[in-house]
Amino acid sequence: MSRPQRILFYCPAIILVLFVCGMFTSRAATAHKDISPAVVAEDGRVAIPLTPDERSWLTGHRTVRVAFDGYFPPYSFLSDTGRYEGLAVDIFKILADRTGITFVPLDKPLWKDLFAAAKRREVDVVATMGHRPEREQWFVFTRPYIFKSMMIMTRKEIRDISGPDDLAGRRVALVQGYQYVRPLLAKYPTIIPVFVDSMLAALNDVAIGRADAALIFLGAGYYLKNKYQLANLRFAAVYESKKYTDSIGVRGDWPLLASILDKALASISEEQKNEINRRWLGPERVVGISHRTVFIFLAVAVGIVLFLVAGFLLWSRTLRRQVMRKTEELRRELAERRKVERILQENEERFRTIFNAVNDAIFIHDAETGVILDVNRKTCEMFKMPRQEILSADVVDLSSGKPPYTQEAARDWMRKAAAGELQIFEWQSKDATGRVFWTEVNMRLAVIVGSRRIIVSAREIGRYKQAQAQLLRANRFLRTINRCNEIIANAVREQQLLDDICRTLITSQGYRFSWIGYAEKNEGKTVRPMAQAGFEEGYLDTLEITWENRDRGKGPTGTAIRTGKPVLCRNIATDPKFAPWRDEALKRGYTASIALPLILDHHVFGALSIYVGDPGGFDDKEVEMLVNMTESLSFGIGSLRTRVDLDSVISELEQHRLHLEELVAERTRELEAANFRLKEIDRLKSLFIASMSHELRTPLNSIIGFSSILKEEWLGPVNAEQKENLAIILNSGKYLLALINDVIDITKVEAGMMESMPTSFVLQELVVEARKIAQVDIGNRSIAITEEIPALTMHTDRRRLLQCLVNLLSNAIKFTNQGKITIIGVVTGEKEQEQILEIQVHDTGIGITESDIATLFKPFVRLHPPGDATYPGTGLGLYLTDKIMREILAGEVLVNSVPGRGSIFTLRLPVTLPRTENEQRTKEDEHGKKSPGH
Amino acid sequence: MEKKVLVIEDNTQNMRLITYALQRGGYRVISAASGEEGVDAAIRERPFFIIMDIQLPGMDGLEATRRIRASPANGDIPIIAMTSFAMRGDRELLLAAGCTGYFEKPIDPLTIVDQIHEIIEEESL
């Protein structure tokens, strides 16, 4: 059945449905009257007949908590603004009005929540509750005031649900806890229940396919479908009509409230109820099951009639349409053909235009025979032939014919192209005038209208070709120059350099012959060939080359050497300058030559000559670069020669260096030996001093001791002369002992072997001791020694300090004839560790000049010649004192003198010898514990 | 009556010189040339004081001093040491061995007796 036919079949069915629907709608409207509840209505202000008990209860309970089902539309539901609305809510408004109770809604919209809350008596009244026996344990019920029909709702595309029986095996959305659920499941055990919390959720599940149908109160279903625009849902059937009622459920312990509300409900008039019903339920319209059967029967009958009519109509229409289609096809074919012809014509014109406009010569050959079938206008221009002539020409007529541009070669190219390969190559072509020119040829196979053709395009590339050749040559030349420069830069030996340059010019650049000659400074001013490469064949032997200014010296090489300028001979065959060598040169294929002078320090020492074999000769750029290269070559030769000089200098230097090293080594050896000898001497010196300290002093002591007791006449009287002699022995002995002692001490100090031995002592005692020792020397002179010493305990090397002080006192006594010597002690500094002691020895002696002061502390300095009886002394006293003060006592000796008036010598030293220095000294001593005295 | 003094010294020249000085000072000198000899003489003679050379062959002065001091009878005899040189810790070493005091060589015969007296007096103070 075709599509239009199907539509024709359904049309009357739809009309029929619409008709039947209208009929049943009117019927449903009449049925609505059955649900009018029985109420007692009173006119005007309604008075409810209440018992005294009920009245008194009311006065005690002005506020009652009420629970509305938030998802029980249209009876009670949460509006979009969050308030409870619906039929039950409207009824409660009337009840509130009539009883004077204020109903406070509970904030639990879900049935199961509010039901549980009611059982716990968290709410006093449930607005809508089915009256069931099991609920009476918690609640007291009023009369029913809501009468509900149950209906089945399904999706529009589910067409096979038309009654409760069809629910078997289906998923049905059911509101958990609603009173219809249990009986339904008991009756249809194969139903797959999909439990939800509200009727809206039930409808939603059906709408989205989670359930196939929902069992829902009719009013609620209507209301929700419209409100939420669940357009894909449809009413399938009424399941139970008005079977379900709702009453007000009142908490079980408040039966008085139940009876009050019951009376209040009864007081609502029929009219009021209708009004409220209309507002929330609208007219009740549902298709009953029995009417649906009739409808299907009628629809089928009418459908069959309509099918027959439609079938006839279609048949006649098909016939007519076939005739029309044929006619149309013919017409279209005709138009198509004309169009194709026009297109072909256009294409041909377009092709011809393009073909002729192209700037390449284009040939169309027959792929099998090679015959030229067509050429474009450019071909005629390029080959300077009329089209017909070209069409009858052969490839060879259009080629230069020089190998490899022969007919055979052309055929070969054609064959390859005919095999399907694109061929691109360069070809030497020839036009009608015999002009040969280069073309780039492009050959490809094409199938044109079923025939195999070869399309050949040829483009003249003469100028391009020439430029390319130039470029190639220039590139090659650059490479050559580059190589030459490399050779020059890396050259080690001059002859090698010349050979390499000549060879490179031939192998890399393709010159025919090159040679380098040096100018001889002999009588004939000949040019001596130094290096050569290329095609020579005895050329140089055949000619006498000179740079003398005469006939044979006027050739390019001679001229170049003589003038220092490059000489270019562009054409050997015609250049008169080249006449003497022309024959030999031409015999060897030289066509042009250039001679380039080799110049070093403004002096021409030779020339590089180059001969080419091709008629192009040298171009300007080439000449310029060759000149540059030759300059580099000259420079390279020069630097090689310098390098040779430098090398010899370097080798000489190297020899010097080696010699120096030898010298240094020798000197080092000598020094080491000397050092060794010095160490040995030092050791011997130490040994000598050690010996002196004991072996020398012992006999001296005997000399001094025995001479002194003799002189003192202990062993009997001696005469005056004997006494004098004994005195000389005694003094000489004492002098020698003092000298030895001083030398030993100095040696010790200088060798760092004198150790400081700090002890604590009283300064005054030390000064007295020093005075006692020194004043022995006063003899019979009138010298008074006084002391001004503070009470001070010192901690330093007592023995050495005593030695120093005795030295100063001895000096003072020595140089003072008469007067007084004063010893003054001064302590400065507050902190004990930093206290400084000054022991000044003032004398009224001869004094010291400034120039003498400068040499005062030098060894063996005596202000008077030794042996002078007036001023005995070793000349080491002050030197040693200074040394001991600085090295051992961490102090110094100061001198202040006025000649003729006297001197002040000062020992300046720390009261306490610094510990660190002491320790350091101790360490040093322990290192070298070979004190000579031991 | 002359006081006996003991000089222990191996160097004969020095012994001779010091003997002159002591005799001049009114002492009778008993001489010993070695440590062992000196110790015996000290115990036997019980001198007024002893001059002890420290550098002696064989038993040295320090050892001799210790032995003399070890004899109960000679515990308080002044022993004055003679040293050839001052060495580190000399004084402590000498005093520890039992010397009363010391002087250094070379001796000055003209002043030696005074020096000895000074040492003994210092000690007896």
Tell me the domains of chain A and their CATH numbers. Answer: 36-287 (3.40.190.10), 358-459 (3.30.450.20), 468-648 (3.30.450.40), 753-927 (3.30.565.10)
User: Which CATH class name applies to B3-124?
Assistant: alpha beta
**According to the model, what pLDDT value does residue A349 have?**
82
pLDDT at site A607: 92
∠ CA(A86), CA(A89), CA(A93), 5° rounding?
Answer: 135
* DSSP one-letter string for A850-891: HHHHHHTTSTT--SS-TT-TTS---S-HHHHHHHHHHHTSS-
Measure CA A171 to chain center: 63
Instruction: Read off φ and ψ for residue A875, nearest 5 degrees.
Output: 80, 5
Contact A154, A172 (CB under 8 A): no
pLDDT in tens, A472-481: 777 877 888 8
CA-wise closest residue to A261 among A140, A120, A417: A140
Q: Do B106 and A693 touch (CB under 8 A)?
A: no
Query: Pairing state of beta strands B27-32 and B3-8?
Result: parallel
A520: tokens are 């001889």
DSSP states of A671-735: HHHHHHHHHHHHHHHHHHHHHIIIIIHHHHHHHHHHHHHHHTTTTS---HHHHHHHHHHHHHHHH
Which chain B residue has its CA at the smallest distance from A757's CA?
B88
Q: Report the pLDDT value the prediction gives residue A842, as an integer from 0 to 100.
A: 93
Residue A918, pLDDT score: 45
Q: What percentage of chain A exceeds 90 in pLDDT?
A: 13
Task: Indicate if ipTM > 0.90.
Answer: no
Least reliable range by pLDDT among A100-114, A229-243, A413-427? A229-243
Per the prediction, chain A carries an average pLDDT of 81
Q: Does A712 touch chain B (CB under 8 A)?
A: yes
pLDDT of amino acid A288 = 42
Asked if A476 has any chain B CB less than 8 Å from its own CB, the reply is no
pLDDT (average), residues A856-878 = 65
Residue A4 has pLDDT above 70, yes or no: no
> Looking at chain B from residue 106 to 125, which residues have their Cβ under 8 Å from any Cβ of chain A?
106-110
What is the pLDDT at residue A708? Answer: 92
pLDDT band per the 50, 70, 90 thresholds, residue A230: confident
The answer for A 786-815 residues in CB contact with B (under 8 A) is 799
**Alpha-carbon span A99 to A262, nearest angstrom:** 11
Q: How far is A669 from chain B (nearest CA, A)?
A: 41
Which residues fall within 8 angstroms of residue A925, CB to CB, at 6 or more apart?
A753, A755, A931
For residue A137, give the 3-state DSSP assignment: helix
pLDDT confidence of A377, banded at 50, 70, 90? confident
pLDDT-derived band at A691, boundaries 50, 70, 90: low
In the predicted model, what is the mean pLDDT of residues A792-813?
91
pLDDT of residue B124: 56
d(CA A931, CA A585): 104
* Residue range B8-34, pLDDT digits in tens: 999 898 999 999 999 999 999 999 999
Give the mean pLDDT of A357-364.
86
Tally of CA atoms within 13 A in the half-sphere of A579 that contains its CB = 5
Q: Is A125 helix (H, G, I), strand (E, B) or coil?
A: strand
The answer to whether A734 and A704 have CB atoms below 8 angstroms apart is yes
Report pLDDT for B49: 94
> In this predicted model, which residue has the larger pLDDT, A225 or A403?
A225
The yes-or-no verdict on residue A736 having pLDDT over 90 is: no
ω into A105 cis (within 30 of 0): no
pLDDT at A461 over 80: no
Within an 8 Å CB–CB cutoff, is residue A773 touching chain B? Answer: no
CA angle A663, A664, A669 (to 5 degrees): 100
pLDDT of residue B7: 96
Highest mean pLDDT among A34-48, A611-625, A855-869: A611-625
pLDDT of res. A598? 92
Which pLDDT score, from 0 to 100, does residue A29 have?
40
Residue B89: its pLDDT value, please? 57
DSSP state of B25: T
Higher pLDDT, A502 or A922: A502
DSSP line for A343-411: HHHHHHHHHHHHHHH-SSEEEEEETTT--EEEE-HHHHHHHT--HHHHHT--GGGGB---TTSSHHHHH
* A565 DSSP assignment: S
Region A678-684: mean pLDDT is: 80
B88: nearest CA partner in chain A = A757
Domain boundaries, chain B: 3-124
**A679 or A285: which carries more pLDDT confidence?**
A679
What CA–CA distance (Å, rounded) separates A502 from A495? 11
Summarize pLDDT for A528-580 with one digit per residue, the tens. Answer: 888 988 887 778 877 777 777 776 677 788 888 888 889 888 888 788 878 88
User: To the nearest whole percent, how much of chain A has pLDDT over 70?
Assistant: 87
Residues of B in contact with A698 (CB under 8 A): 11, 13, 106
Residues A199/A241, Cβ–Cβ less than 8 Å: no
Whether A704 contacts chain B with CB within 8 A: yes
Angstrom distance (rounded) from CA A745 to CA A90: 137
Q: Which two tokens stand for residue A847?
A: 């004094």
**Residue A430: is its pLDDT beyond 70?**
yes
Contact A700 B106 (CB under 8 A): yes
Amino acid at position A463, single letter: R
Q: A706 — contact with chain B (CB < 8 Å)? A: yes
Q: Which two tokens mark A202?
A: 């039930």
Residues whose CB is less than 8 angstroms from the CB of residue A10 and which lie 6 or more positions away in sequence, other chains included: A303
Q: Write down the pLDDT at residue B73.
A: 76
pLDDT of A307-327, one tens digit each?
A: 887 877 888 788 788 888 888
Which of the given ranges, A169-173, A735-739, B104-108, has the highest pLDDT on average? A169-173
Has residue A682 got a pLDDT over 80?
no
pLDDT at residue A410, rounded to an integer: 84
Number of A–B residue contacts, CB under 8 Å: 47
| pLDDT, tens digit, 9 for 90 and up, residues B29-81 | 999 999 999 999 999 998 999 999 988 888 989 999 999 998 887 778 899 99
Binned at pLDDT 50, 70 and 90, residue A448 comes out as: confident
Q: Name the residue type at position A552.
A: R
* Inter-residue contact B50 to B40 (CB < 8 Å): no
Contacts of B85 in chain A (CB under 8 A): 693-694, 933-934
User: Cβ-count burial of A609 within 10 angstroms (0-12 exposed, 13-18 middle, 19+ buried)?
Assistant: buried
Average pLDDT of A225-234?
Answer: 78
Helix B90-97 with B61-70: angle, nearest 10 deg = 30
Q: Quickly state the pLDDT bin for B113 (edges 50, 70, 90).
A: very high
B-chain CB neighbours of A704 within 8 Å are 106, 108
Copy the structure tokens of residue B110: 């003209």
pLDDT tens, A286-297?
Answer: 444 445 656 677
Note whether A712 contacts B87, CB cutoff 8 Å: no
Q: Which of residues 77-96 of B touch A (CB under 8 A)?
A: 84-88
Write down the residue that tokens 């509300």 correspond to: A261
C-alpha distance from A851 to closest chain B C-alpha (Å): 38
Q: What confidence score (pLDDT) does residue A283 get?
A: 56
| Cβ separation B14–A701 shorter than 8 A | yes
Chain A CB contacts of B21 below 8 Å: 709
**Tell me, what's the pLDDT at A6?**
53
